[in-house]
Structure 1
C-alpha cells in the first residue's frame, strides 16, 4: 500500500468529504462556462432564424453535397436550419471550454462567441441551407476536440480515458464524418486536419487513426449502397477554367470540340476573369460540354503534362479566397461572393426580419469586406495568437492543432475552389476571433 493511499485513508471523514465537495464544485464551475455560452449563442441564433425563416438561402441547397440536400428535403428547410443553430451553439460552447483548458477566461472567450452568433456574416451562414454551414460547424468541433485532447496530453492524462476523453473522440469522429459527407472538398479538409492531429497527438494516435478511417469509410459505404454521398464532383468546370486561363496566357488554336463548347472569345474572356469557374460556365453550351467531357479531360491532362505552372496559376487564382486578405480586382468575379437572402426568407416577424436585413446591408460596405467577409485575415490572426501562447507556455503543438481545420480548408480550396464565396472560409471567420483570445493568457491557470 502506498504512502499516499495510507494518508488518504487515515484522514478524518470530514476532510475527505470536503475534498469531494471541492472537486465537485470545480467540475461544476468548468461546466458552467460552456453551458452558459451555448445557451446565449443559441438564443441569438434562434432570433436570426426567426428573422429569416425558413432559412437564409431558401429551399434549394447548391449542388455538390447530395446527402445534405437529401437531408434538407427529408426534414424540410426550417427544421434543418434549427438543427444547425443547435449544433453551432454546442460547437461554440465546446470550443470555449477547450480554450479554457489553456487558460482563456470566459470573460474574453464568452462575449466573442456570442458576438459571432450575432454578426451577420457568421450568423447568416449558420441559418443557411448550405453545405458550407455543415463544413464550418464540423471544423469548429474538430478544432475543439483537438485542443481538448492536446490539453489532456499537456496535463499528462491522455491514457486515463474516462467520459471526457470518450466525448472528445466521439466529437472528433462526428466532425470528420460530417466533413467527408459534404463532398470531396470536405473530405480533403478532414484528411489534412486528421494528419496534423496524428502528428501532434502521439499518445492517442491509434484511436484517432481508427476513428478517422471509420468516418471516411461512411460515405464510401453509402456510395456502395447506391447513394451518391461522396461524389467525385463535376470536374468539367474546374478543368475548363484551367484551360481558359492557359488559353488567355498563351493563345493557341482551339480544337473543334472546345470551340463548340464556347467560342474562342469566350475562352479568352474567362481566362482574363480567372477567379471563378462561372466566368466560363455562364457562357458555354452546357449540353455540348457534357458530351465533350472526355475531350475536355484529355486537353486538361495534356496541359498538366506540358504546362503544370498554368494549372497551378489557375487554381491559385480561384483559391484567393483562402489565402488573400483582400479581394482581387481582375474582373467581375474577383470580388468576395456574398449570396443574398432567398425570396422566401421573409422571417416570422417583419420588424425582426427588417432589422436583420438592415444590419447585413450595413456591413456590406466595401471598406469592411476584408475585415468581416474574408476569413484569411482571421486565420492569420488566430494562428499568431496561438503561436504567442505556445511561445509563452512552451506548447509547440498548439499551433498546428489549432490551425489544422483552417489549413485543411485552405489546401482543399487550393485544389478545388470554384469561386470567391465567403462561406467556404467560414471556419476561419469563427475560429480566428476565438483563437485570438489565447493572446490574453499570460500565466497558466492552476485550476
Structure 2
C-alpha cells in the first residue's frame, strides 16, 4: 500500500495522519469541545443578537455557523483539529527542505499534540486556536522561503513561490482577524523579514502588511457599519486603569486631590490601593467594587490621570507593564498571592457555565443550553485525558508545559546556532514570528494567561528537529526536484571516416 504513494507524498501524509489521530482522541475525550468563560461569551454573542468586536467577529461567525448547521459545536472543534494537522504536515515539509529526516520531524509532530497542554488546547472553543494555527502556518511558509534563498532561488517566480507567499498571507490574515491585537505580530515581524529576505521585500510587505490593513479596516470601519457593537471604553482602557492602581499603591503621595476625587467616583481608594494594585494582572482592578459604567463615563478624566502618572513616575509605569506581561518573557511564574501564577483553563465545564448561567438570562434560558456541556464519546477516555491534563499541571513543570517564554529562547538559540554554522543571515527570518508573538504580548497584556503564549510553543517544537541537520545549505541549484537527464549526443565524426556502420555491428 505504501509503495503506491509517491515518495514525496509520504512525509506530509504521515505528518497529517499521526497528529490527526491524536487530536481526534482529545476531541472525543472532551466532545463537543473544551470550553472557557470566553466560549460561553461567543455563544451569547451569536444567539442573542449581541455581536461585539471585543472578541473575534470571524470566530463568532464560525461559532454561529456550527450552531446553525449542526445545532452543536462539535463541527467547529473538529475543523480545528483538521486545520492544525494540515498545518503540522506543511511544517514537516518545510523541515524536509532543510534536510530534516522524517525520523525527527514526525516525533515532533506527534509530541506537540500528545502533550496535554498543547494537545487539549486545539479542541477548545477559543479564537486563540485558529490564531495559533495561523502563526504556525506563517512560520512554516517563512521557513520554506528561507530554504529557497539558501538554494539560490529567491528570484525564481515559480508556482512554489506563489504558494508559499499565499500561505504566508493566509497565516498573517488569520492572526489579524482572530485576535484584536494580532496585527501587532506582523508589525513586529516585518522588520526582521525585510532585513533577512531582501530579494522578496515587496512580496513580504504584501503578504504581511495587507492583512494588517484588512484587520484594521474590519475593526474600525466594517464591523461598526454593519451594526456590530464596539468594545466599551472600560474594556479598551482597562490596562490604563490598572496602571493607575499600581502607581497609587506604590506612590500615593504623587496623586493630587483632584485625581483622588475622580478615582473615588469609580471605586473606593481602598480598592485602588489594595487588591487592584497588583502589577501582574488587570482583572483585579476591574472587579467589584469597580463601577465599570462610571469608569467608562469618566474615561477621559481617568486617561488624564494616567498621562500624569506616566510623566510623574515613568519608572513605575514601565515596571508595571513589564510585570503584567511577564508571561511573555519570564520563565517562572509570579507569586500566586499577587495573581502572578500562570492562568490555565481546565477542560472542564461547570454546571453554571463559568457563572454565565447565574446572571445572564439569555444563557440561562437558551435553547443551546443542552449542548454547552461536555458529552465525551467515552467516559474512560475522558477520565484518562483529564488525568493526563491534571498531571501536566504540576508546578515544577509549569515553565516547560505552560509558559511560552522558554520556547522563545530555545528557538532563538537554535537559530543562532544555525546562523553561526552556515553563515547565512537569511536564517534569522525563521525567528521573525516568534519575535512578533513575544513582543505583541509584551506590548499589551492584561493577565498571565497560558493561551497568550501557546503559539511560540507550537513553533518551538518544530525548531528542535533543526538541530539534527548536519549538512551545510549553500547557495546553489534547487535540489528538491530531480533534474532532467540530458539526452545522449552522437559522437563527433572523425576526419576521413564515413558514417556507415560496420558490417559486424549489424550481424
User: How does the TM-score come out when normalised to structure 2?
Assistant: 0.78
Which residue is equivalent to 1:60? 40
429, 438, 456: which one aligns with 1:428: 456
1:49 aligns with 2:27: yes
* Corresponding residue for residue 12 of structure 1: none
How many angstroms does 1:240 deviate by?
0.7
Which residue of 196, 207, 212 maps to 2:192?
196
Distance 1:71 1:195, change over 3 A: farther
Matches within 5 A, 1:399-438: 399=428, 401-438=429-466
* Corresponding position of 1:288: 294
The C-alpha deviation readout for 1:267-302, integer Å capped at 9, x for no partner, is 122454211111211231222222222222221122
Q: How does 1:3-402 map to 2 (within 5 A)?
A: 28-57=6-35, 59-60=39-40, 63-76=54-67, 77-223=73-219, 224-225=221-222, 226-227=225-226, 234-252=235-253, 253=255, 254-270=259-275, 272-283=277-288, 284-329=290-335, 331-341=337-347, 342-343=349-350, 344-399=373-428, 401-402=429-430
- The count of residues paired between Structure 1 and Structure 2 equals 421
- 8 Å contact kept, 1:150–1:398: yes
Q: In 1, are the aligned partners of 2:146 and 2:430 still within 8 Å (CA)? A: no
Aligned equivalents of 2:9, 2:315: Cα separation in 1: 52
Higher helix share: 1
Question: Unpaired runs of 5+ in structure 2?
Answer: 43-53, 68-72, 351-372, 474-478, 481-507
Distance 2:232 2:291 in 1: 22
How many Å separate the matches in 2 of 1:144 and 1:193? 14
Q: Give the whole-Å Cα distance in 2 for the aligned partners of 1:278 and 1:163.
A: 49
Structure 2 distance, partners of 1:229, 1:164, is 41
Contact 2:127 2:179 in 1 (8 A): no
Cα–Cα, structure 1 residues 121 and 396, in superposed 2: closer, same or farther, change >3 Å?
Answer: same
Extract structure 1 runs of 4+ deviating beyond 6 A: 229-233
1-structure distance, mates of 2:98, 2:292: 53
Structure 1 residue 61: Cα displacement:
5.1
**RMSD of the TM alignment (CA)?**
2.3
Contact 1:176 1:212 in 2 (8 A): yes
CA distance in 2, matches of 1:157, 1:85: 34
Q: 2:467 aligns with which of 429, 439, 442?
A: 439
Shift of 1:45: 0.8
| 1:392 to 1:146, Cα distance in 2 relative to 1, 3 A | same
- Alignment deviations for residues 67-110 of structure 1 (CA, whole Å, 9 cap, x no partner): 32232122233222122111111111111111221122111121
* Separation in structure 2 between the aligned mates of residue 115 and residue 109 of structure 1, nearest angstrom: 10
Q: Distance in 2 between matches of 1:257 and 1:210?
A: 46
Relative distance call for 1:316 and 1:89 in structure 2 (3 A) is same
Separation in structure 2 between the aligned mates of residue 442 and residue 271 of structure 1, nearest angstrom: 53
**How big is the shift at 1:239?**
0.4
Mean Cα displacement is larger for which, 240-249 or 330-339? 330-339
Structure 2 Cα separation of the partners of residues 177 and 188 of structure 1: 12
Tell me if structure 2 keeps the 8 A contact 1:277–1:418. Answer: yes
CA distance in 2, matches of 1:316, 1:330: 17
Q: Aligned-pair distance for 1:231? A: 6.9
TM-score by length of 1: 0.88
1:54–1:129 distance in 2 versus 1, CA, 3 Å: same
1:200–1:397 CA contact under 8 A, matched in 2:
yes
The structure with more radius of gyration: 2
How far did 1:326 drift? 0.4
**Other structure's SS at 1:442 match:** coil
Per-residue Cα deviation, 1:155-209 (whole angstroms, up to 9, x for no partner): 1112222222121111111111111113442110122123321221111111121
Partner of 1:8: none
- Counterpart CA distance in 2 for 1:33 and 1:210 is 30
Q: Does the 8 Å contact 2:183/2:215 carry over to 1?
A: no
| SS of residue paired to 1:374 | coil
